[in-house]
Amino acid sequence: MISARTRLFGLVGHPVRHSLSPAMYNELFRRYGLDAVYMAFDVDPDRAEAVGEAIRTLDLVGVNLTVPFKERVLPDLDHITVAAEEAGAVNVVVHVGGVLTGYNTDGEGLMRYLDAQGIKLSGARGVVLGAGGTGRAVASAFLDRGAAGVTLHNRTLSRAIDAVKALERRFGHADLDARPLSEAEFARTAPHADIIVNCTAGGAKSTIAGLDPAHAASGATWVDVNYWMPDPPHQQRCRALGLRFETGLGMLVHQGALAFELFTGHPVEAPVLEEIIRRAIAEGKV
């Protein structure tokens, strides 16, 4: 039962109707016996500057953020973590007594999933498609795990260059590069990559589809973080080529577990969350 004491959490993004987050978090609240509810708020991007104040005014306890709010909420936050600073974006905001703290669990969520799958990053080379908040978070997490180097591809090259400059301040020892997001440039970098991660949003699907995974090295892994796509670009093609393909579902599980602990203080095991998510998908909640 929702009452006047029920604590409110939510997702702020546009669009959000495909999100599994409400099903995921509300089931966890039920299992842990927490008087809380999680809702999805589809917010016009033109209202992004009002999000921080809305969290305070409505006393939202915790919020997940999607593009474009991950970056545009930063000026309204009181504190951000090192991971969020390196990513230049936050995907989790926790509100305590009027103080907003921003976190970024995207990179760590993906790394925990890759670790669980036995995919090692130490000494590896990564190619990251997209230099927004998710791409930067993933690149930073790669380097934290000891990756030898990362190349960031982005449709707007200047954004990839800015991301590399920011990463160089902490990871000056690594081989970092910025390239346009094009088939010609991808053909130059993919043969040297151990792992390729598509961190672009759904609107770039046709651009990603224009890249040829046949350029990738034998034994490489391709990850697409867009878990909600039923058939992400190159899934079948990669498997036909003998490349390992991973959807973003594993990343969602692990970053969701991290966010739930930040929200509530309760740790949750990844298999528990994966079971909840797969059931939600089966029931057509995405």
Cβ(219)–Cβ(195) under 8 Å? no
Domains assigned to the chain: 7-104+251-282 (3.40.50.10860), 107-247 (3.40.50.720)
| Average pLDDT value for residue range 149-166 | 97
**What are the tens digits of pLDDT across the range 228-282?**
888 899 999 999 999 999 999 999 999 999 999 999 999 999 999 999 998 988 8
Q: Would you call 70 a catalytic residue per the annotation? A: yes
**What are the tens digits of pLDDT across the range 166-214?**
999 999 889 999 999 999 999 999 999 999 999 998 889 999 999 999 9
User: Which residues, 6 or more positions from 176, have their beta carbon under 8 angstroms from its beta carbon?
Assistant: 149, 150, 151, 152, 164, 167, 168
Measure CA 186 to chain center.
22
**What are the tens digits of pLDDT across the range 35-73?**
999 999 999 999 999 999 999 999 999 999 998 899 999
Cβ(93)–Cβ(63) under 8 Å? yes
Burial class (CB in 10 A: 0-12, 13-18, 19+), 53: exposed
Please check the confidence at residue 1 and state whether its pLDDT lies above 90. no
Give pLDDT, residue 285: 67
User: Which residues, 6 or more positions from 88, have their beta carbon under 8 angstroms from its beta carbon?
Assistant: 71, 74, 133, 136, 163, 166
Catalytic residue among 70, 120, 165, 285: 70
Burial class (CB in 10 A: 0-12, 13-18, 19+), 214: middle
| Average pLDDT value for residue range 218-234 | 93
Rounded alpha-carbon distances, angstroms, from residue 259 to 2, 207, 283: 22, 31, 24
Give pLDDT, residue 286: 61
CB neighbours of residue 156 within 10 Å: 12
**What are the tens digits of pLDDT across the range 71-81?**
999 999 999 99
Q: Which residue has the higher pLDDT, 15 or 220?
A: 220
Give pLDDT, residue 227: 87
Average pLDDT, the chain: 95
pTM over cut 0.85: yes
> Which residue bears the tokens 């130490």?
122
Give pLDDT, residue 248: 92
CA nearest 208: which of 191, 176, 231?
A: 231
Give pLDDT, residue 228: 84
